[in-house]
Amino acid sequence: MAVHMTRSNEIQGSAAGRLLDMLLPRPSSTFLLRSADAPGSILVVDRAVPPTEGRKAVLSTERGLRLATLDSRFDSSRVWGVVTWVIREPS
Amino acid sequence: MGHPGAVLKPCADLLALCDCNNFFVSCERLFRPDLEGRPVVVLSSNDGVVISRSNEIKALGVKMGEPFFRVRSFLERHGAAVFSSNFRLYEEVSARVMASLRRFTPSMEVYSVDEAFLEIPPEGKKKPGEWALDVRAAVLRQTGIPVSVGAAPTKTAAKLAAERAKKRPETGGGFALLPGDPWEDLLGEVPVEDVWGIGRRWSDFLRRRGISTALRLRDAPDDRLEKYLGIRGLRTAWELRGIRCFPIEEREKPQKSIQSSRSFAVPVRDRESLAEAVTEFTLTAGRRLRSQNSLAGSLSVSISTSRFRGSFFGARAEVTLETPTDSDITLMRAAAGALSSIYREGHDYEKAEICLGSLSSAGTVQLRLFGKREDRGAALSRAADRLNGEAGRRLLLPAALLGEKEWHPRKDRHSGMGLEDLEKLPVISAEE
């Protein structure tokens, strides 16, 4: 399965198109990642969203990208992107 | 030819070149912040030669195009990260960079996978240097890819400005060569072969005649330039004088020919394996042909052995197609015929190439699944393109290509990551 970030004319305006617009409003700055701790789920990460306290975010670290919740002392230069959606199966 | 200044005024308008820094390496680093500051290289298909280098690798003196086997232990000693090329990832990242750039300009030309020319909008023209830095910051924030932006009145000058922005950290990644500013210092430092469109082809010739820098090229007399280099070369010199000769070409020009070729992981001897490879390349070329809505009027096949081992053998055959076509079935048949006319037993083939030529526009051809044989083939090929495109991989392919192929490129160091295929998304863990 491939998710094309560019919308084809065929799905524009359809339910599928509107769902993609909701999940990926800014395709050029949005990345899909998977979480090692929740197999099967997909993280939607937008690099253009300004990070704020309390949000889930992906951080750049010397050991790679890490998922974290931003506390009051977060360093914005280390924020790779902000998690805007988590797509997962109901538990 | 008289002096151009009489009729052609230096251009007051500005354009920009946006060039991704060490693009393939930057793509590999996108999800690997641990590689920041470390030496990283990307190898060509089949892990043959170095095709992208991080700044740390450049500082170590490893050259572009260096065969990997020659620098392998050197790279290991310096703790370099080595990647096989992942062209699907690079294309996906490129599409985002280009989408990100489009918001900054009314008109843009995607020049290559990692470069685009942009018309600078009116608000940017007041302070082009600042505009260049804004573009760089936005692309980096949105896509994670560092770029250099050069602003100038002409494409040839914008190329040099972007190069300066890339090489000098103090520019912050943006640099402007403005009309009326003195360009002599910069042009005097640029070797003539580094001027866009000059390259190795002409530089030896020019150097022998004392034209060794961009500045000397700019100031050479027109009649000499036209005699040496033709009209294209003369225009290059005019562009260095600030006279715009090459406009931004927004519409992607359909390619005049389409190539598909690769080096094999292991040398191929037998006819069947070589035919399989040629069939696969034909399908790749066919897909590109249909995606630009063209028909091919001719097809050529080239095969060759290694230039480094044993005695060299290479051969090429060209077939003119009865009617221009975009049907995989017709193309595959023509390729098989061409191959059998040049194949010789007893050689270790290392490379094969398919080239589709005499391209014409497919226009608005009605495709009928039950029409003539040729139409059916074309309709089938388009249906396969669609299915494979939606699946994000090769779902539908000729039975001849099923199974493991020993000649497939070796990709031992492939990151395996992609942005769009859900099976290839990067996996991250929670912070401890």
Q: Is the pLDDT of residue B173 over 80?
A: yes
Residues of B whose CB is below 8 A from A33:
31, 425-428
Confidence of residue B5 (pLDDT cuts 50, 70, 90): very low
Between CA B334 and CA B321 the distance in angstroms is 8
pLDDT at B8: 58
Between CA B53 and CA B200 the distance in angstroms is 21
| Interface of chain B toward chain A, CB-CB under 8 angstroms | 31-34, 36, 92, 95-97, 99-100, 141-144, 389-393, 419-423, 425-431
pLDDT at B207: 93
DSSP assigned state of B67: B
For an interface test with B, give the residue of A6, A23, A29 to mutate (most B CBs within 10 A).
A29
Residues of B whose CB is below 8 A from A76:
none
Q: pTM for this one?
A: 0.74
What are the pLDDT digits (tens) for B351-372? 889 999 888 887 644 343 444 5
pLDDT at B366: 38
Confidence of residue B47 (pLDDT cuts 50, 70, 90): confident
Between CA B68 and CA B66 the distance in angstroms is 6
pLDDT at B2: 41
Q: Give the Å distances, CA to CA, from B372 to B225, B367, B376, B409, B418.
A: 54, 10, 6, 37, 40
Q: Is the pLDDT of residue A36 over 50?
A: yes
pLDDT at B151: 97
Residue with tokens 């538990």: A91
Average pLDDT value for residue range A70-86: 95
Residue with tokens 């998690």: A83
What are the pLDDT digits (tens) for B320-349? 888 888 888 889 999 999 998 899 888 888
Q: Is the pLDDT of residue B402 over 60?
A: no
Residues of B whose CB is below 8 A from A41:
none
For an interface test with A, give the residue of B18, B135, B427 to mutate (most A CBs within 10 A).
B427
Confidence of residue A38 (pLDDT cuts 50, 70, 90): confident
Average pLDDT value for residue range B84-94: 91
Among the partner-chain residues B95, B389, B422, the one whose CB lies closest to the CB of A1 is: B422
